[in-house]
Structure 1
Amino acid sequence: MSRTILITGASSGLGEGMAREFAARGDHLALCARRTERLHQLRAELEGDYPGVKISVRALDVNDHAQVAEVFQAFREEFGQLDRIIVNAGIGKGQPLGTGRFDANRQTAETNFVSALAQIEAAMEIFRAQNHGHLVAVSSVTAVRGMPGNVTTYAATKAGLAALCEGLRVELKKRRSPIRVTTLYPGYIRTEINEKVKNTPFIVDAKTGCRAMVRAIESGKAERFVPGWPWTPIGFILRRLPESVLARIF
């Protein structure tokens, strides 16, 4: 049975890759991003490859929090219901603290955490009304520990997002709600954001990474590192390393 899946930040990178994977599975898609021309191109391509899949696209800047709620509700009204919402939109900016780049760190914090909170609020309002749904948040392997330099703020926002989802899972279990929440911790996946970064360990191409992300989502588990190998054992180790060792590694 086809489901309807909403993906934010779907015009490129992980969002686009997941849209392709879900379309191949026969799922209907509600895709949103700032760059609508790329969304329309993606819709035309996927509709050509998968004629039975319904795809709707809308412009969305996740930093416009009122627009987030409006777009999510408009998709729900169009499709009748939303079975899964993937909070994927984010940025990879950031500079070492105290170097005069508060602007970059603030933008990272606002987009990756505050705007993710707005998306989760909008998603949960829909899911509570439906009494079902699957919320998926794209965190990062960097969320498991504090990270130095350019990654400090980025990692902190992803850790905050993971904690937000964990708290929500606890609440839903307490209420015996059928709504599910999954947190993904992607490792290094080659996308436009990091295409110029060299010598990145264990990096995989976007197709491989997005396929692993979709498999992890479909597993229904609360938390998953992706790809599972080698990031599950790496995540386990990172959580336990002394700060002195982290300082030498990073």
Structure 2
Amino acid sequence: MSRSILITGASSGLGEGMAREFAARGDNLALCARRTERLEVLKAELEKQYPGIRIQVMALDVNDHAQVQEVFRAFQAHFGALDRIIVNAGIGKGQPLGTGRFDANRQTAETNFVAALAQIEAAMEIFREQNRGHLVAVSSVTAVRGMPGNVTTYAATKAGLAALCEGLRIELKKRRSPIRVTTLYPGYIRTEINEKVKNTPFIVDAQTGCRAMVKAIEAGKAEHFVPAWPWAPIGFVLRRLPESVLAKLF
């Protein structure tokens, strides 16, 4: 039986890549993003390639919190139920604190954390009603420690997202709920968000990265660094390094 998977930020990057991977597995897709023209192109391509699946697309600005609720509910009504919701939409803006770019840092915080909270709220309302579902949040390897410079706010938002998911997992375990929560910590995956960044260590192409993400999601564990090599050991080490060493590394 085909599953129904909702992905936010699905018009490009990791969202688009995951949509392609799930379509190849025969899953039905609920895809949303601000740029609906790109979603329509992706929908047509995937439906032609995989004629047995159903794809619904809708416009969504995740910073419009009321719209998040409306769109998630509309997808639920269309498919009858939602089996998995992937909170993926985010931005990579950010500037060093105290340099006059509060606007960029605020936008990063609002999109990556507050809007993610709105998506989790909407997803969990649906899952609690269904008494089943799989919530997946796309955090970042940068979430494991505070990061300097342009990445400070970005890393903090991703750490906050991971903490939300951990708290939710603890609650669901306490209640013995069948609802699952997975947090992904992607390493460096080449997408539009970082295409101008040069000399990035261990970076992989989008297809490789998204394939690893979907494999991790299907495994259903609480947390995954993706790709597992080398990011799982790097994450382990980063969590334990003293700040003086981090200052030299970054």
Work out whether the TM-score is over 0.5: yes
Distance 2:192 2:106 in 1: 22
> Structure 2 matches for 1:43-82, cutoff 5 A?
43-82=43-82
SS at the partner of 2:85?
strand
User: Residue 15 of structure 1 aligns with which residue?
Assistant: 15
> Structure 2 matches for 1:183-202, cutoff 5 A?
183-202=183-202
Alignment of 1:148 with 2:162, yes or no, is: no
Please report how far the alpha carbon of residue 213 of structure 1 lies from its aligned counterpart in structure 2 after TM superposition.
Answer: 0.1
User: Residue 34 of structure 1 aligns with which residue?
Assistant: 34
Letter in 2 for 1:69: Q
User: Residue 159 of structure 1 aligns with which residue?
Assistant: 159
Alignment RMSD: 0.3
Distance 1:4 1:170 in 2: 25
Distance 1:87 1:180 in 2: 14
> Structure 2 matches for 1:218-237, cutoff 5 A?
218-237=218-237
Letter in 1 for 2:238: L
Please report how far the alpha carbon of residue 180 of structure 1 lies from its aligned counterpart in structure 2 after TM superposition.
Answer: 0.1
> Structure 2 matches for 1:103-114, cutoff 5 A?
103-114=103-114
Please report how far the alpha carbon of residue 196 of structure 1 lies from its aligned counterpart in structure 2 after TM superposition.
Answer: 1.2
User: Residue 93 of structure 2 aligns with which residue?
Assistant: 93
SS at the partner of 1:85?
strand
User: Residue 172 of structure 2 aligns with which residue?
Assistant: 172
Distance 1:130 1:48 in 2: 31
The size of the alignment, in residue pairs, is: 250
Please report how far the alpha carbon of residue 68 of structure 1 lies from its aligned counterpart in structure 2 after TM superposition.
Answer: 0.1
Cα displacement string for residues 183-229 of structure 1 (whole angstroms, at most 9, x for unaligned residues): 00000000011111110000000000000000000000000000000
Cα displacement string for residues 20-58 of structure 1 (whole angstroms, at most 9, x for unaligned residues): 000000000000000000000000000000000100000
> Structure 2 matches for 1:210-225, cutoff 5 A?
210-225=210-225
Cα displacement string for residues 142-200 of structure 1 (whole angstroms, at most 9, x for unaligned residues): 00000000000000000000000000000000000000000000000000111111100
Letter in 2 for 1:106: R
Please give the TM-score of this superposition, normalised by the length of structure 1.
1.00
**Runs of 4 or more above 3 Å deviation:** none
SS at the partner of 1:46?
helix
Distance 1:174 1:85 in 2: 22
Cα displacement string for residues 88-117 of structure 1 (whole angstroms, at most 9, x for unaligned residues): 000000000000000000000000000000
Please report how far the alpha carbon of residue 74 of structure 1 lies from its aligned counterpart in structure 2 after TM superposition.
Answer: 0.3
> Structure 2 matches for 1:131-142, cutoff 5 A?
131-142=131-142
State percent identity of aligned pairs.
88
SS at the partner of 1:29?
strand
Distance 1:132 1:197 in 2: 40
Q: Unpaired runs of 5+ in structure 2?
A: none
Distance 1:33 1:77 in 2: 18
Letter in 2 for 1:161: L
Alignment of 1:243 with 2:243, yes or no, is: yes
SS at the partner of 2:126?
helix
Distance 1:31 1:21 in 2: 13
Letter in 2 for 1:130: Q
Distance 2:168 2:52 in 1: 34
Q: Unpaired runs of 5+ in structure 1?
A: none
Distance 2:52 2:32 in 1: 20
